[in-house]
Every structure is written in C-alpha cells, then in structure tokens.
C-alpha cells in the first residue's frame, strides 16, 4: 500500500483539486491521510466531505498549529503503507503517478527512493513549464527530489522523521540524511503538477528560505565526511546563496573553498553559475537566465508552498 500524507492549513482554495487527483489515480492500493493543522477557513468541511467520498481517506486535526514538519511527523505516525509520500493542498498528481513509482520500487529492490519530473502551473491551472529531474549525485547542491517522489517506509524508520526546527527546509534535510544511507533513482516521467502562485511560502519567504538553506548546508558540510565533489557542490551553492543575500565576502570565500578543495569542479556548470553570481550579482544573473529563456530554476528547495 502507498500512504499519502497531505498536510494542510487554510488550504480550502485548492484542496478539493488536490484530493481529486488522488482519487483519479490508476493505482488503487493507497491511503490518504489528511492532516488539518488547525485550519480556520472552510478546510475542515472540505476534508469531511472528502472522507465521506472514499473509505481510503482518513484525517487527523492538530489542536495547535504544528507547521509543516510537525504535521508531516503526525501523518507518518499514522501511515500503514509499505511506500510513503506526501503532497500539498495546492498541487496535484498526474493520474499514473502512483502506479509508475510504486511499480518501479516493487521491481527494483535496490532502490529506496524514486523521484520524477514535474510540470509547473499558475493559479488557474495553466501549465507554464517543466522541470526535468537532476541526478541524485546533485543533492548536496540542491533539493533535486522535488515534489514528486515515493520511498520505502524503511527509510523513515531508519533516519527518523522531519526535523521540526527546520521549517522551510525540512524536506531537504530529510533527503540529505537519507542520501547517506539509501539508494535514490530519478525518473524523467512527468508525474506531478506544481502550482506557483502569489501565496506560495517560497514566494513570501525568499530570504528566510535562503538563510535556512545556508544554515542546513553549513551543518551538513562540517558534520559529514563528504567526498570532495559533494563538498565543492555545497560550497558552490553557498556562494550563490551568499551572493543572493548580498554577502560578497562570504560568497567569494565559499567559491574559493570549492575550487581549492576540488579543482576539477571548475569544469562544472554549477561552478560557473557561482562564479557569475559572485561577479555579476544574483539579480543580474537571474535576469540574464530569464532573458536566455531558461524558464524556472527551482533549485533552492522543494516547494513548501502548502502550509504555514
């Protein structure tokens, strides 16, 4: 069975659409656990209606707002499936999403986490772009897993739940911890639709997210015995975040550490992104990428647009 956790806080606007995308799955052996994180809008009524629709849907209401990582941990404690995932109240699955990912894990015993490509949509549901998944080896640089994934319950049992002190980057931390112990695999299939809208937490908390990523990667960098390439990737990312935060000395220091520690990384596109970010400034680089038609660059963290 696939256990899907759906945490929500005042998510009435898009919640029905998100639940409908699960009801329309071609793979039928699932349970949906909706965690209402003390919503004050129409969310409880929508959840009640969803529970009446299908016996595979269960719900739990937190008496106090636990925020995303806390709500996820509650859901994981209630999950009964062999495979786990979570989704948000403003995004939706493609109909074949669970079938493709569950079949892959079932047929590939050596893989523990599978993730896929996904599309972007706007407020109205119009598709605006596509994100092809990067390889697992890039995880020290960015959260390549994205919003479309499935993993074995053994992963959560081994590494524990989400760190509730890391709001906005709780999922990235989860994957970094899992990456040390488990096998990841990327599939190019487009199995999910990720909504970008004005109320997205990543839109409203850009600087907070960057600071949280910096804190997380610095901790990962200095606490782990990492390969030289992984250490360089982290420093390139920290250089870009430092540039975005207008911390030039910090950004240049991270760039130097990356190139000095692993000179071969100079041939990596990520090295040149960091170099240009330090030379031109983050905003100039982003405008240049937009002018070149590079589309969405969702490389700072998996979208955490679904819960306050």
What are the angstrom distances between the C-alpha of 77 and each of 51, 74, 84? 19, 5, 11
What's the CA gap between 226 and 174, in Å, rounded? 17
3-state SS record for 72-88: HHHHHHHCCCCEEEECC
Instruction: Note the pLDDT of residue 294.
Output: 53
Q: Is the dihedral angle over the CA atoms 166, 192, 20, 5 positive or is it negative?
A: negative
**Average pLDDT taken over every residue of the chain:** 91
In the predicted structure, residue 225 carries a pLDDT above the cut 50: yes
Please name which of 301, 113, 140, 145 lies closest in space to residue 227, comparing C-alpha atoms.
140
- For the chain, which domains are there? 2-203 (3.90.550.10), 205-291 (no CATH)
* pLDDT classification of 296: cutoffs 50, 70, 90: very low
Which of 28-32, 57-61, 126-130, 284-288 bottoms out in mean pLDDT, i.e. has the lowest?
284-288
Q: At what angle do helices 269-280 and 282-291 cross, to 10 degrees?
A: 120
Please give the torsion angle defined by the CA atoms of residues 35, 24, 189 and 169, in that order, rounded to the nearest 10 degrees.
-10
What is the three-class DSSP state of 195? strand
The helix or strand, by DSSP H or E, that contains position 115, with its residue range, turns out to be strand 113-121
pLDDT in tens, 87-100: 999 999 999 999 99
The pLDDT assigned to 1 comes to: 97
Per-residue pLDDT reduced to its tens digit, 146-180: 999 999 999 999 999 999 999 999 999 999 999 99
The label of the residue with tokens 């404690």 reads 77
């Amino acid at each position: 069975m696939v256990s899907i956790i759906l945490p929500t806080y005042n998510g009435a606007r898009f919640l029905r659409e998100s639940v409908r995308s699960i009801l329309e799955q071609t793979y039928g052996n699932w349970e949906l656990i909706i965690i209402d994180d003390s919503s004050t809008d129409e969310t409880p009524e929508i959840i009640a209606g969803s529970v009446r629709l299908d016996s595979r849907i269960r719900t739990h209401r937190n008496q106090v707002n636990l925020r995303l990582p806390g709500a996820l941990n509650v859901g994981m404690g209630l999950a009964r499936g062999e495979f786990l995932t979570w989704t948000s109240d403003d995004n939706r699955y493609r109909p074949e999403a669970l079938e493709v990912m569950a079949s892959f894990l079932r047929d590939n015993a050596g893989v523990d986490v599978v993730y896929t490509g996904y599309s972007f949509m706007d407020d109205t549901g119009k598709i605006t772009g596509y994100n092809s998944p990067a390889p697992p080896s890039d995880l020290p640089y960015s959260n390549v897993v994205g919003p479309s994934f499935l993993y074995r319950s053994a992963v959560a049992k081994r590494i524990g739940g989400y760190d509730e002190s890391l709001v906005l980057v709780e999922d990235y931390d989860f994957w970094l911890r899992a990456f040390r112990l488990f096998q990841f695999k990327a599939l190019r299939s487009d199995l999910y639709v990720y909504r970008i809208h004005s109320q997205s937490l990543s839109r409203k908390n850009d600087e907070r997210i960057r600071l949280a990523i910096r804190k997380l990667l610095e901790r990962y960098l200095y606490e782990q015995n990492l390969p030289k390439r992984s250490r360089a990737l982290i420093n390139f990312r920290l250089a870009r975040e430092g540039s975005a935060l207008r911390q030039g000395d910090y950004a240049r220091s991270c760039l130097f550490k990356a190139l000095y520690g692993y000179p071969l990384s100079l041939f990596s596109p990520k090295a040149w992104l960091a170099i240009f970010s330090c030379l031109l400034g983050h905003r100039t680089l982003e405008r240049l990428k937009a002018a070149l038609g590079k589309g969405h660059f969702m490389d700072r963290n998996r979208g955490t647009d679904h819960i306050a």
